[in-house]
Structure 1
Amino acid sequence: MEFENSLNFAQQLDAKDPLRKYREQFHFPKVNDKDVIYFTGNSLGLQPKRTQQFVNDIMTDWKNLAVEGHFHAEKSWWDYHERLAAPLAKVVGAKPQEVSVMNTLTVNLHMLMVSFYRPTKTRYKIICEEKAFPSDQYMLNSQVKFHGFDPDEAIVEVKKREGENFWRTEDIIATINEVGDELALLLIGGVNYYNGQVFNMKEITKAAKDQGAYVGWDLAHGAGNVALELHDWGVDFAAWCSYKYMNSGPGNASGIFVHEQYLNTTDIPRFEGWWGTKKETRFLMKPEFEPMANADAWQVSNPPVLALAPYLASLEMFEEVGMKALIEKRNCIVAYLEFVLGEIDKEVEGTFEILTPKDRGCQLSVFLHGQGKALFHYLMDQGVVTDWREPNVIRLAPAPFYCSYEDMFRFGQILKDGITKNLP
């Protein structure tokens, strides 16, 4: 498609957009009485308008039924989480029994490490990407120290090549082969939070498993954003948050994936609790733990249904649209944003650089040469909600559910105006 950097062309794209009706199904903050241009779905997705009713239903059941809501609410609470498994499985490329929802992301990674980081004196190393998201770094460091190893020796970071802004798959695989039979676990963010790169999860997973290691993926920026086939790739485990591209609300519950080969077994180590034991005998209060035959075996506590309600509301939308349609629009709108940025760059003489490689999802990370944080504040004041990462990077994530092509054009004009103002 031949793009044009014009309002008319952007509006034509919006008119042809099969997802355009979904924009009206989200609440937008306003600046100067206008809906903002929202680029931070990679940090917190907008609230779907249908979410309120899902939460209200639980509040009403609590009011009218009290404890009986566990079993007699229209969406009974004791098995509320089970309603999320099938639609989530489609989003991450899993079987429904391989998916559960519980806790929050880093908590779940710690819980899953109990099962999948089982170091020995000779096989104890973990491979991750350099400058992983800080929470992952803290989690890995603490896990390694808990097992009595030195993080400087046990954690191997794959670095980007000098002068490049992305990781090369061949460098990751070379590192896997170099660590060899000392490798206990590979755990990488499937989509890098800083530069927006999507890693080749299929090839990397195979390379690590060929070395006898477990493989996990942090999909905080992947779930609801990129095509995933966790079961077919042979991934051992994964976890993701729900509040970014999946629009479930701030700090909300996390999803997990555990490959079916580890299900319905009692011989895998894990931290166990009441809600992981069989439904059929749970209320008999038996002293023996009998694991659920699915990923719910990793649950330790009863589900927080007030938190799960917004997630279920959002998943209803994912069911309606499907990941294929979301990815098709994502590819087009990100390409149009890249084109608009390129046209603006010509007009203002090369003041910024896109760091994100072509292996990407919704996000473009833009390095602003010679621009200070004043430009970021200018964008925010003009109703462009983006975020700033040091030293001079703004991250732009046009989520396909609610961002429009007109947003991309308007942003380009605002960005150009801000740059030409020579802000301090």
Structure 2
Amino acid sequence: MKFENTLQFATEMDNNDSLRAFRNQFIFPQVNGKDVIYFTGNSLGLQPKIAKNYVDEIMKDWAELAVEGHFYAEKPWWDYHERLAKPLAKIVGAKPDEVSVMNTLTVNLHFLMVSFYKPNSKRFKIICEEKAFPSDQYMLQSQVRFHGYEPSESIIEIKKREGEHFWRTEDVISKIEEVGDELALVLIGGVNYYNGQVFEMESITKSAKSVGAMVGWDLAHAVGNVELKLNEWGVDFAAWCSYKYMNSGPGNVSGIYVNEKYLNRTDFNRFEGWWGTKKESRFLMKPIFEPIASADAWQVSNPAVLSLAPYLASLQLFEEVGMQALIEKQKLLTAYLEFVLQEVDKAVDSTFEIITPKSRGCQLSVFLHGEGRSIFDYLMKNGVIVDWREPNVIRLAPAPFYCSFEDMYRFGEILKTGILAE
């Protein structure tokens, strides 16, 4: 498609967008009396209008039924989490039994490490990406120390090549082969939070499995953003947060994936609690844990239904649209944003460097060479919500649920005005 950096072209694209009506399903903050141009769905998604109804329903049941809401609410609380498994399974490419919701992301990664990081004197090393999200780094370091190993000897970071802003798959695979039978685990962010790169999860998983290692993925920036086929790829485990592209609310509940081969087993390491026991015998208060035959066996405590409610509301929208339609729009919208940036770059005495490779979701990370934080401040004051990362990068994530082509055009005009005004 031949793009044009004009309002007329952007409007025509919006008019032909089959998902355009979903923009009205979300609540936009306002700046200067106008809806913002929102580029930070990779940090916190906008609130779906229906989310309040789902939360209010639980508050009403709590008021009218109190403890009986666990069993007699319209959506009983004791199995509320099960309603999320089927739609989530479609999004991550899993079977419903392989998916559960609980806790928060790093908590879940710690829980999953109990099951999938079992080092011994020979096989104890972990491969991750260089400068992974700090929470992942802290989690890995503490897990390694807990098992009596030194992070400097046990954690191997895959680095980018000199002068490049992205990782090469061949470098990841080469390192996996080099570490070989010393490798216990590969745990990488499926989409890098800083540069927006989508890792080749299928080939990396296959390579790690070929040397006998476990494979997990932190999908915080991938779920609801890119195509995932966790079961087909043979991934052992994964975890993700729900408040970015999944629009479930700040700091909300996390999701997990556990491959079906590890389900319904009593011979598998796992931190266990009451809510992971079989539903049929849960209230018999048996002294011996009997795991649910699904990923719910990793649950420890009863789910926080007030957190699950807005997640379920957002998943209703995903069910209506489908990931394929979202991905198709994501690709077109992000490509148009890239074009607009290039056109602005031509019009001003500045140089933009997009450090996100072509293997991407709906995020462009842009080095603003010659521009300081003042341009970020200008954008924010003029109703463009973006994310700043040191030393000189803005992250732009045009989420396809609620961002429009006109947003991309208007952003370009505001950016150009801000640079020329400096």
Query: Shorter-chain TM-score: what band?
Result: over 0.9
C-alpha distance in 1 between matches for 2:11 and 2:47? 24
Once the two structures are superposed, residues 375-403 of structure 1 have per-residue CA deviations (whole angstroms, 9 ceiling, x without a partner) of 10000000000010000000000000000
Deviating beyond 3 angstroms after TM superposition, the runs of 4 or more aligned structure 1 residues are: none
Q: SS state of the match for residue 365, structure 2?
A: strand
Q: Any residues of structure 2 matched to 1:325-340 within 5 Å, and which?
A: 325-340=325-340
Indicate whether 1:213 and 2:209 are aligned. Answer: no
1:290 matched to which residue of 2? 290
Once the two structures are superposed, residues 172-202 of structure 1 have per-residue CA deviations (whole angstroms, 9 ceiling, x without a partner) of 0000001000000000000000000000000
C-alpha distance in 1 between matches for 2:348 and 2:268? 59
2:146 matched to which residue of 1? 146
One-letter amino acid matched to 2:18: P
Q: SS state of the match for residue 60, structure 1?
A: helix
C-alpha distance in 1 between matches for 2:341 and 2:44? 23
One-letter amino acid matched to 1:377: D
One-letter amino acid matched to 2:352: F
> How far off is 1:348 after superposition?
1.1
One-letter amino acid matched to 1:275: W
2:255 matched to which residue of 1? 255
What runs of 5+ residues in structure 2 fail to find an aligned partner?
A: none
1:399 matched to which residue of 2? 399
1:356 matched to which residue of 2? 356
1:272 matched to which residue of 2? 272
1:234 matched to which residue of 2? 234
Q: SS state of the match for residue 281, structure 1?
A: helix
Once the two structures are superposed, residues 92-141 of structure 1 have per-residue CA deviations (whole angstroms, 9 ceiling, x without a partner) of 00000000000000000000000000000110000000000000000000
> How far off is 1:247 after superposition?
0.1
C-alpha distance in 2 between matches for 1:326 and 1:173? 30
One-letter amino acid matched to 2:130: E
C-alpha distance in 2 between matches for 1:81 and 1:102? 8
Indicate whether 1:173 and 2:173 are aligned. Answer: yes
C-alpha distance in 1 between matches for 2:346 and 2:171? 34
Identity of aligned residues (%): 75
Once the two structures are superposed, residues 332-371 of structure 1 have per-residue CA deviations (whole angstroms, 9 ceiling, x without a partner) of 0000000000101111144211000000000000000011
2:103 matched to which residue of 1? 103
One-letter amino acid matched to 1:9: F
- With structure 2 as the length reference, what TM-score do the two structures score? 1.00
C-alpha distance in 2 between matches for 1:285 and 1:415? 62
C-alpha distance in 2 between matches for 1:160 and 1:350? 26
Q: SS state of the match for residue 74, structure 1?
A: coil
How many residue pairs end up in the alignment?
A: 422
One-letter amino acid matched to 2:378: Y
Q: Any residues of structure 2 matched to 1:297-312 within 5 Å, and which?
A: 297-312=297-312
2:112 matched to which residue of 1? 112
Indicate whether 1:203 and 2:206 are aligned. Answer: no
1:369 matched to which residue of 2? 369
Q: Any residues of structure 2 matched to 1:26-175 within 5 Å, and which?
A: 26-175=26-175
- Checking the alignment, whether the CA contact within 8 Å between 2:350 and 2:370 is kept in structure 1 is no
C-alpha distance in 1 between matches for 2:113 and 2:350? 45
One-letter amino acid matched to 2:383: G
Higher alpha-carbon deviation: 172-181 or 413-422: 413-422
Higher alpha-carbon deviation: 246-255 or 413-422: 413-422
1:342 matched to which residue of 2? 342
One-letter amino acid matched to 2:320: E
One-letter amino acid matched to 2:290: E
Q: SS state of the match for residue 395, structure 1?
A: strand
C-alpha distance in 1 between matches for 2:223 and 2:352? 29
C-alpha distance in 1 between matches for 2:344 and 2:368? 13
C-alpha distance in 2 between matches for 1:360 and 1:143? 30
C-alpha distance in 1 between matches for 2:413 and 2:169? 36
**What CA RMSD, in Å, does the superposition of the two structures yield over aligned residues?**
0.4
One-letter amino acid matched to 1:338: E
1:386 matched to which residue of 2? 386
Once the two structures are superposed, residues 194-250 of structure 1 have per-residue CA deviations (whole angstroms, 9 ceiling, x without a partner) of 000000000000000000000000000000000000000000000000000000000
- With structure 1 as the length reference, what TM-score do the two structures score? 0.99
C-alpha distance in 2 between matches for 1:294 and 1:353? 46
> How far off is 1:421 after superposition?
1.4
C-alpha distance in 2 between matches for 1:372 and 1:332? 29
2:417 matched to which residue of 1? 417
One-letter amino acid matched to 1:392: N
Q: SS state of the match for residue 239, structure 2?
A: strand
C-alpha distance in 2 between matches for 1:344 and 1:378? 16
1:22 matched to which residue of 2? 22
C-alpha distance in 1 between matches for 2:307 and 2:196? 28
Q: SS state of the match for residue 41, structure 2?
A: coil
C-alpha distance in 1 between matches for 2:141 and 2:349? 44
